[in-house]
Structure 1
Amino acid sequence: MEKLLGKGGMGCVYMGVHPGIGSRVAIKFLHPQFSHDEKIVDRFFNEARAVNVIGHDNILKILDLNVTEGHRHYFVMEFLHGRPLQALLRHNVSVPLDVAGPILLQVCDALEAAHKRGIVHRDLKPDNVYLITMKGKKNFVKVVDFGIARMTDDAGISTGKTQTGMVMGTPAYMSPEQGSGASNKIDGRSDIYSLGVMMFQLATGRLPFPGSNFGEVLIGHLQVPPPPPRSLNPLVPEAYEPLILKCLQKKQEDRYASMKELKHAIEACMDQLRISKELPHSDDTDTDTQLHPVEVRPPSFPGARTPGRATGPGSKNRISNPNARPGGARPATRPAPGATARISQPPTRLTPAPQPQQLGRAPLFAGIGVLAALALGVGGFVVLRRSDAPLASAPVRAQTEIVRQEETPVFLSVVSEPLDAQVVATWKDGEKRGAAPLSLEVPRNAKVHFEFRKSGFIDYAMDVIADQPQTVQAALKAVPRPPPPVAEEGSERRSQPEKRRKRDRAPKVPDGVVDVLGDLK
């Protein structure tokens, strides 16, 4: 072993070199404090078992697994040199379909192979999709980290099943059935949902359900309809948006039935848009120049932590966007969440930018995170900016953006606790009715009046100023139950003798079985 590449809560990864042939590998060790826990050891080796069963070129290869004399459990993996897909998303840029499409098709291939063998990944996210150069082609996919993969009965692998009610995965990308702890319902369509979150993020530069804590994110996955990607980034192809939204359906049966079906839908969309499905050559730099922030768009997901202006008694029930900056101001040189990437002329200089904090649990695989940092330098990602761009045009662009914001409708998501409350939303020249959760578009800065009704609960009303996309949530109170009648003093004592007299006057029923005519059997 040459050096430590990374540590995690369960283990650590070292780079190793074969002493005879000099080939590099990555070695993952389980922390010694877990070596006597059979369930943890089984889960640790679960990744090696799963990958060995699947055997696909787009999945990280596991070469060996064993236990040292000192009772240290480990397995050996191929050494990857490249970057995780997350590297393309760290600055909230959108990734055009001609770059994202070939990557997504490979992910579909890898997961389709896993699902055919009865294996569900359960932690699909950009950090677990690694991009390397293979045979002169860039962006060759390696799906990694099957450590919490679920083996169905078809997998043919003896392993403990997840306990019902246990939530496993990364909150930002987990399916509704994962978030609710319904482990018995998890199947390949759960991975399709997670891939849908990735597709949304690649298309818009942001997550469909951001949040400052697990509860906020979970509410989004379980109740809130995702905002249409084109409402956040108009450059998303119109033919592509329905594919993303179908993957993000709350009910499994409403999503694509398989990764193969999703792959065919992506291919058909790319064919319709005349987008090549081929991977770029390793010496092709065009794919990198397409990833850079440009026009700042308003916060796009339901509810900004920059407080919106809710009025009336319902203001305390409104959830705000946790991603927005207080005051709404942002430096012009930094992209806002939801910013899209576009450039009119080729860039002439690369400017490194610092890495922001990432959502979700830290990944641990084959030295991947460390290798990405080594490959990309300290910044890990670059923001491309034309150094000779005229600065004087900035105010004009800002004024144009303000006008565009005023003309752009605002997307509102409406949820209720409990679910399925009947909602009536009214604003000037508009109205929408339906059962929560629901979504609607209204004119920017419109005053929207909401009424919530549900049997057994007190009606609730609130007003919201639609100055930005947001989530409107109402927690209804149950109708108080009337108190039980109070018996008059002494009535209970008087009723007991009366009950005994009625019992004594009742006809005696003989022991045994009586037929319908009353004769004793």
Structure 2
Amino acid sequence: MTDRSGEIIEKFTLHRLLGEGGMGAVYLAQHVLTDRMVALKLLHDSFAGNHEILARIRREAKAAALIGHPNIVEIVDSGTDANGVPFIAMELLKGESLDGLLEKIGPMPIPLASYVICSILDTLQAAHLKGVVHRDMKPENVFLNQAHASNVPQVKILDFGISKFQSMDQQNMSLTRTGTVMGTPYYMSVEQAMGQKVDGRSDIYSVGVMLYQLLTARLPFCDSNYNRVLLQIVTGDFPPIDQIRPDLPPELVAIVHRAMSKNIEERYPDCHAFMAELQQFWILYDPAEIFSSLGDATIETRSVPLKTPTPQLTDPKLMAAAQTYGSPRVTTAAVGQSLETDSKKGMIAAILVLLVIGGGVGAYFMFKSEGEMKAGTPTAQNPEVPVVNAGMEPVMEPDMPVVMEAVMEPDMPVVMEAPLPAEIAINVVNVPKGASILLDGKKTTLPIKLPGARGQHSLVITAAGYEPFVKNIEYRADVHLVFDANRIQKVTVNSMKPPVDNPMEKPMDTPMDTPMVTPMDMPSSMPVDVNRPDF
């Protein structure tokens, strides 16, 4: 991308290039009338006239303005240059991303991780109260902004570009359509990974994953194949956090596990409820003490105009509740860096992902790469160079379908849903003996009673000798199905073939031509149960 430093775009003079990302470049810019310095993100020329990208930019600006919270990055202006190339001018941030700090120090002390997560939750609570769900919470979208002369960075949340406005018509207001997945796979809740309706509790799951990662420096679900990650989220169990970091207090372990529950009803009902339990692990510490304990890893202090400090808990009830908690435990024990992978489960996961995510739901997703900033991007170690997040937009693969959300006007009517039954029954006949039955990733038996669980549900039945039976069920009325999966054709097994490479061992940066699993992802040979009755 050509360096456009020195040009004037609408009201802004571009001073110098700060970094390039997958969809554009970020410049240090200055408003020609007010002299305000901003970070201006200019997209690639290929996006000129792209109404869908403009819709996303407008949505981010609208979300920030609607929420009006000091810990959400301010959108100063947006528009297009003379050639129709979109830009967005944002508040200039100085510091580093939460992801960068995590990479620098590894597993975080309990008070630090708890303080940062509580600041995030306080901000998201304000968003949720305005009907906005972020849908892409992750450490890369959290910035520790050293915006005032103290040792306490201000936590800033970035990228509301794929946020969802819950008050609008569900059929029209969303970038996503039925069965479309938006966000970063590692932090997705079950309902988001399945392309179902999300609400604030989906953000709570993502923040729970972030807390898990800050405390262990590991992700709960990780794989080289994005679709297998989605299947793990839907059907698998993550390693309990106390197995990775056994020094954690049982109360903190329970908090993390509740936030990451697959069942949305078992999570915290809102962000303040999550905060009320988590704040006990930092509330007795001075925030400056929490950050100063990092020593050489402390974010560098700079003198800049004062801004609102990192928010304390805004609910008086939460502050009162904090008085009942004892002194938190501070530990920085090292943890392991790898998990053993079961190759057989990996192959099964790849097959089921193709059916459940591919055929059953037809899901696509936008994946944001972790390394968008090219070499030479300014870092927090250089106090003269403002640091901005140039990785706010997803990297678009050439063959990846781009699904963008239309911007809705404020007077869009809300569609009222018809009353739903208190409970529905799901039954399937002709199911082979010994079959495994999963509803939303959990084992169950037929007939299934489903009380008050609105939205779509995934039913997967697997039986020896048959292809998986996959159905998406809408919670509206009783469901009666017939097991009609095809039998698996007999195959000839060449036992002399050398073992194939484990598909789970692909490096994370292996290029992906398409977000869907294809037969190329499958090993050249697979184990076959020769003791089956029909073999």
- The verdict on a shared fold, with TM-score over 0.5 as the criterion, is yes
TM-aligned CA deviation for residue 227 of structure 1 = 1.5
| Aligned CA distance change for structure 1 residues 22 and 417 (closer, same or farther; 3 Å) | farther
| Helix, strand or coil at the partner of 2:146 | strand
| Helix, strand or coil at the partner of 2:250 | coil
| Aligned CA distance change for structure 1 residues 22 and 159 (closer, same or farther; 3 Å) | same
2:94 is the alignment partner of 1:84: no
Q: Which residue of 1 aligns with 2:285?
A: 276
TM-aligned CA deviation for residue 420 of structure 1 = 3.7
TM-aligned CA deviation for residue 296 of structure 1 = 6.1
| Aligned CA distance change for structure 1 residues 54 and 458 (closer, same or farther; 3 Å) | same
Q: Which residue of 2 aligns with 1:229?
A: 241
C-alpha distance in structure 2 between counterparts of 1:192 and 1:77, whole Å: 26
Task: Give the alignment of 1:311-330 within 5 angstroms.
Answer: none
Residue identity (%)? 31
TM-aligned CA deviation for residue 178 of structure 1 = 1.6
What is the CA RMSD across the aligned residues, in angstroms?
Answer: 4.3
| Aligned CA distance change for structure 1 residues 317 and 66 (closer, same or farther; 3 Å) | closer
| Aligned CA distance change for structure 1 residues 118 and 205 (closer, same or farther; 3 Å) | same
C-alpha distance in structure 2 between counterparts of 1:155 and 1:117, whole Å: 15
Kept in 2: contact 1:101–1:277 (CA 8 A): no
Q: Which residue of 1 aligns with 2:208?
A: 196
| Helix, strand or coil at the partner of 2:152 | strand
TM-aligned CA deviation for residue 268 of structure 1 = 3.8
C-alpha distance in structure 2 between counterparts of 1:304 and 1:140, whole Å: 39
Q: Which residue of 2 aligns with 1:67?
A: 80
C-alpha distance in structure 1 between counterparts of 2:101 and 2:188, whole Å: 20
| Helix, strand or coil at the partner of 1:130 | strand
The one-letter code sitting in structure 2 at the alignment partner of 1:130 is: F
C-alpha distance in structure 1 between counterparts of 2:52 and 2:133, whole Å: 19
The one-letter code sitting in structure 2 at the alignment partner of 1:208 is: P
| Aligned CA distance change for structure 1 residues 161 and 376 (closer, same or farther; 3 Å) | same
C-alpha distance in structure 2 between counterparts of 1:97 and 1:212, whole Å: 29
TM-aligned CA deviation for residue 17 of structure 1 = 2.4
| Higher RCO, 1 vs 2 (CA within 8 Å, ≥6 residues apart) | 2
Of 156, 165, 179, 1:151 maps to 165
The one-letter code sitting in structure 2 at the alignment partner of 1:217 is: V
| 23-32 vs 242-251, which moves further | 23-32
| Aligned CA distance change for structure 1 residues 294 and 199 (closer, same or farther; 3 Å) | closer
Of 136, 149, 169, 2:183 maps to 169
Deviations 1:244-292 (A, max 9, x none): 1111111211111111111111124546xxx426344887654838999
C-alpha distance in structure 1 between counterparts of 2:70 and 2:92, whole Å: 14
Task: Give the alignment of 1:422-437 within 5 angstroms.
Answer: 435=443
C-alpha distance in structure 2 between counterparts of 1:93 and 1:42, whole Å: 37
Compute the TM-score of the two structures, normalised by the length of structure 2: 0.56
2:369 is the alignment partner of 1:361: yes
C-alpha distance in structure 2 between counterparts of 1:109 and 1:476, whole Å: 52
| Helix, strand or coil at the partner of 2:377 | helix
Q: Which residue of 2 aligns with 1:29?
A: 42
2:297 is the alignment partner of 1:288: yes
Kept in 2: contact 1:130–1:144 (CA 8 A): yes
| Aligned CA distance change for structure 1 residues 65 and 315 (closer, same or farther; 3 Å) | closer
| Helix, strand or coil at the partner of 1:253 | helix
C-alpha distance in structure 2 between counterparts of 1:317 and 1:76, whole Å: 46
2:61 is the alignment partner of 1:53: no
| Helix, strand or coil at the partner of 1:75 | strand
The one-letter code sitting in structure 1 at the alignment partner of 2:256 is: I
Task: Give the alignment of 1:27-426 within 5 angstroms.
Answer: 27-90=40-103, 93-135=106-148, 136-153=150-167, 160-182=174-196, 185-270=197-282, 275-276=284-285, 278-280=287-289, 286=295, 288=297, 297=336, 299-300=338-339, 303-304=340-341, 360-362=368-370, 370-372=377-379, 375=382, 419-420=437-438
| Aligned CA distance change for structure 1 residues 11 and 299 (closer, same or farther; 3 Å) | closer
TM-aligned CA deviation for residue 66 of structure 1 = 2.6
TM-aligned CA deviation for residue 28 of structure 1 = 1.7
TM-aligned CA deviation for residue 475 of structure 1 = 11
Kept in 2: contact 1:88–1:95 (CA 8 A): no
Q: Which residue of 1 aligns with 2:404?
A: none
The one-letter code sitting in structure 1 at the alignment partner of 2:181 is: V
C-alpha distance in structure 1 between counterparts of 2:63 and 2:298, whole Å: 37
| Helix, strand or coil at the partner of 2:108 | coil
TM-aligned CA deviation for residue 435 of structure 1 = 4.2
TM-aligned CA deviation for residue 155 of structure 1 = 10
| Helix, strand or coil at the partner of 1:28 | strand
Deviations 1:37-71 (A, max 9, x none): 32222112211111111111111011122333332
Deviations 1:442-484 (A, max 9, x none): xxxxxxxxxxxx885469xxxxxxxxxx9xxx9999x9999xx
C-alpha distance in structure 2 between counterparts of 1:164 and 1:73, whole Å: 28
| Helix, strand or coil at the partner of 2:26 | strand
Kept in 2: contact 1:34–1:41 (CA 8 A): no
| Aligned CA distance change for structure 1 residues 14 and 86 (closer, same or farther; 3 Å) | same
C-alpha distance in structure 2 between counterparts of 1:476 and 1:24, whole Å: 64
TM-aligned CA deviation for residue 240 of structure 1 = 0.3
Task: Give the alignment of 1:11-22 within 5 angstroms.
Answer: 11-19=24-32, 22=35
| Aligned CA distance change for structure 1 residues 270 and 39 (closer, same or farther; 3 Å) | same
| Helix, strand or coil at the partner of 1:250 | coil
Kept in 2: contact 1:111–1:259 (CA 8 A): yes
C-alpha distance in structure 2 between counterparts of 1:370 and 1:95, whole Å: 25
The one-letter code sitting in structure 1 at the alignment partner of 2:260 is: L
| Aligned CA distance change for structure 1 residues 53 and 279 (closer, same or farther; 3 Å) | farther
| Aligned CA distance change for structure 1 residues 239 and 281 (closer, same or farther; 3 Å) | closer
| Aligned CA distance change for structure 1 residues 298 and 112 (closer, same or farther; 3 Å) | closer
Q: Which residue of 1 aligns with 2:407?
A: none
| Aligned CA distance change for structure 1 residues 241 and 134 (closer, same or farther; 3 Å) | same
| Aligned CA distance change for structure 1 residues 455 and 119 (closer, same or farther; 3 Å) | closer
C-alpha distance in structure 2 between counterparts of 1:149 and 1:193, whole Å: 15
| Aligned CA distance change for structure 1 residues 372 and 237 (closer, same or farther; 3 Å) | farther
Compute the TM-score of the two structures, normalised by the length of structure 1: 0.58
The one-letter code sitting in structure 2 at the alignment partner of 1:126 is: P
Kept in 2: contact 1:103–1:140 (CA 8 A): no
| Aligned CA distance change for structure 1 residues 481 and 147 (closer, same or farther; 3 Å) | farther
| Aligned CA distance change for structure 1 residues 154 and 123 (closer, same or farther; 3 Å) | same
C-alpha distance in structure 1 between counterparts of 2:165 and 2:528, whole Å: 41
TM-aligned CA deviation for residue 299 of structure 1 = 3.2
The one-letter code sitting in structure 1 at the alignment partner of 2:279 is: E
Q: Aligned residue pairs: how many?
A: 349
| 193-202 vs 36-45, which moves further | 36-45
Give ranges in structure 1 of 5+ residues lacking alignment. 308-313, 321-358, 381-415, 422-433, 437-453, 460-469, 483-521
| Helix, strand or coil at the partner of 2:341 | coil
TM-aligned CA deviation for residue 75 of structure 1 = 2.2
Deviations 1:282-313 (A, max 9, x none): 8765483899997563734xx338x8xxxxxx
C-alpha distance in structure 2 between counterparts of 1:457 and 1:46, whole Å: 48
Deviations 1:127-151 (A, max 9, x none): 1100022431423200011111112
| Helix, strand or coil at the partner of 2:27 | strand
The one-letter code sitting in structure 2 at the alignment partner of 1:89 is: L
TM-aligned CA deviation for residue 36 of structure 1 = 2.4
C-alpha distance in structure 2 between counterparts of 1:133 and 1:18, whole Å: 22
